[in-house]
Structure 1
Amino acid sequence: MKPATGDLVIAVDGPAASGKGTLAKRLAAHYGLPCLDTGLLYRMVARAMLDAGHDIHDAAAAEHLVGSFDETGFPEERLRGGEIGEAASVVAAMPAVRAGLLARQRRFAAQPGGAVLDGRDIGTVICPDAPAKLFVTATPEVRAARRHKELLGRGEDVAFESILADIRRRDARDSGRSDAPLKAAEDAVILDTSALTVEEVVAAAIGIVERRRVA
């Protein structure tokens, strides 16, 4: 769906723990736009699968659940953590799940005035006509350190090496899947956050969006 003239749709893509979620929220606040963390939708499907006792690799069960789950029925704390992140990466590789969530995401992006969406395939599949596209990345080691700090802050004692291995495994799965693989759109601007503070990332992103708005 192509944005209406004047609508500002910002696509923020990137791998796990790259900082794209934080950046998307900051951009949404700056521009006064609604924000959707599309990864939460896949986490909801994964949580529904686990709650129902299904094998997380059961594509038929996932396809059944994707059309019926209630987005308001999952407290955010039940959608966070390493286990659910890994499970979400598994269901996100299922074409039927991606197809089932496509319409929800495009409806969100089509709101009057625009929206900010972050995920893995926003600029390539969900909003290919978005006027502003960013691909946020960082080295696996930096991303693992960020996730490690986040988990420790929530009281989860997980080894750094385990988190790094999980991130590399998810990167391989997300980039190697046949349907909507993780990759930068051809017209996306790459933003490497490895050596940047949050404020520096936000400032750089706003500059990118502003240049795209006047292009």
Structure 2
Amino acid sequence: VATKFTEHKFESRPFSFSVRFIVLLNQKIVQAKQFSQCINLIGVDLMNTIVIKKQAFQGCHNLTTVKSRKLQEIEEEAFLGCLALKQIDLSSAVKVDCSFVSCCFVYLQMPSIKFIGKMFSNCSALRYIDAPKCEKIAENAFVDLQQQIHVYSEKLEDAKENYCCNNQKERFQEMFNGKFKERSEVLGQIEKQKTQMRKVN
């Protein structure tokens, strides 16, 4: 089931939990908790959205893809518990606050981001971030991650225990050197997390 919304604001949720794909045509802001707990949702197309508010997609366990063209800001815990999220368009994003918790990204492009704050928590599949304009990475940018993250930036030279910086882009296969958990193992962990969260809910 795919649903298109043209209104800018919603008084209440105008959809059912059976919706699997949502297209927001004109909505500039996705409101706080607007699509939370839509457990069957697998894809979102944010055609004109600029801001995603706090916990907007919280608990969307099966959400895998978020397309956007103009997205600039993502607030805290916007994708909390989106365990299957593996692709999001951050090409226009300039501010992202602790938005990704237990997501399964492997590779992310953030061409406009200048600061990586406390952005990722328990994203066990994450390996590589392409952020050429990044000037600073917070010490708590990567929480509950055992693996080292490779960050490409033209302006960063420092490195910490949980990430390393490169001034030249790596070939895709190079990010999987060392202690890499096979994707099947990562997906197995995600399925366990999904089961645990369903029991809690």
TM-score, structure 1 normalization: 0.30
Greater percentage in strand: 2
Higher relative contact order (CA 8 A, sep 6+): 1
